[in-house]
Structure 1
């Protein structure tokens, strides 16, 4: 039996004892209740029956009358997933432009129910969604996550097998006397982290083709592997 049920049973015993004795004051003294409490208990019992004897928490039961509509609540949650650093006033203003009417207090109420009152909590939600739902992030989301999470900042590209994705890039090494500018043409298999590199005195696209033909493709052919995708940063080189 729960505590609430035990208290309700005690209240019922009070009512029964008062009827048996025919004396409210004496029954209250024996059971440890005041006369005011007795009449309140009796009124609740007469109105609601046995359920009226259960203790209830003060305040409205069920959803708050000023709680926002479910569609508005979902719009707020979707918006703060896209823009986790925006404050409640800005969220309300931006949603108003989309035809969703809600006050900044309404935004805070939704955040409070979902544990999102702080910027830190909203960023954690975005980071969790990225891990679990494989969201396609916007540039803004990537920037805020890189500032917020060292783990996200140091993330690696996920690939299924060797050759699934090969990245090509050019780096300026320095200037050598009698040689001039020196560049490193690098190629890395994003799955195995195996890398190739050659030094050149130019960063023309032909250098990337050269290192691929001379080093990378022969290596893959030797190991009976294939390259599915080659990734570059779209630079002039």
Structure 2
């Protein structure tokens, strides 16, 4: 309760006590008021009601007669929004050039009524106004937001059914004594997370073609499915002249669309990158410590066993997998893909 309301309630208590006692002098003595104050309070209460009990400051009601008009006040506020660091004298001089006559004291008066006396307050007002303003982003600004904003970076690749998008990549496994460098050509269906992989001692286009032709396409054909799009990085084993590069020619013959990721952006091929981490944690780092390999074939035999476990026995915790195995989702996605084709044909 404000002080004014407390005083008004005390005055009302004075009037009620005088009525109850039937003695004005005794009521004034108890409440600490004079008889003159009592009669003035009673007159105001009879004339104005409860509002008459509130203390009123003397002087004319309404705005001060020397206050600037609304047009000048708006001009001062607009100028202070554009130049919040300018002082009152400079604001008055600049507005005079625009035909608005006001003194520096008038500028300070406007600032005082709007709590803008300090430069910091005027800067905060500019910040609040800018936050409410809606901006139309250019294509360049949108591109930069998508590149650096976590909200955009965390967007997921959407796939509709098995074979809708298949991701491929080359992964350097390590160096085998007596053999040399060993590379993994990995392939994963982005919808079901079903994965394939073969080890090679080089990363030529023929190795990328071989794993598709030997493992991936036969698996899809055996289940009556097909690959619509392949996503790869811009490595030489995947990209080249369409009329000469072996990988590009192979995809054209199979009727598969080839898409590439952004340069130096491995996150845009996150499915296969996450597969590589799983292979490292659950297979290569373990087998590399408990098995002595002398050939790539021996490594491939153990890798095939792991892929069988990964695809058919290991529950997957990825987005949308719901604890199912990749093989289960692969088969369900084939049915879903056929329904989609039927709906599109209709």
Structure with the greater alpha carbon radius of gyration: 2
Question: What TM-score comes out, normalization by structure 1 length?
Answer: 0.49
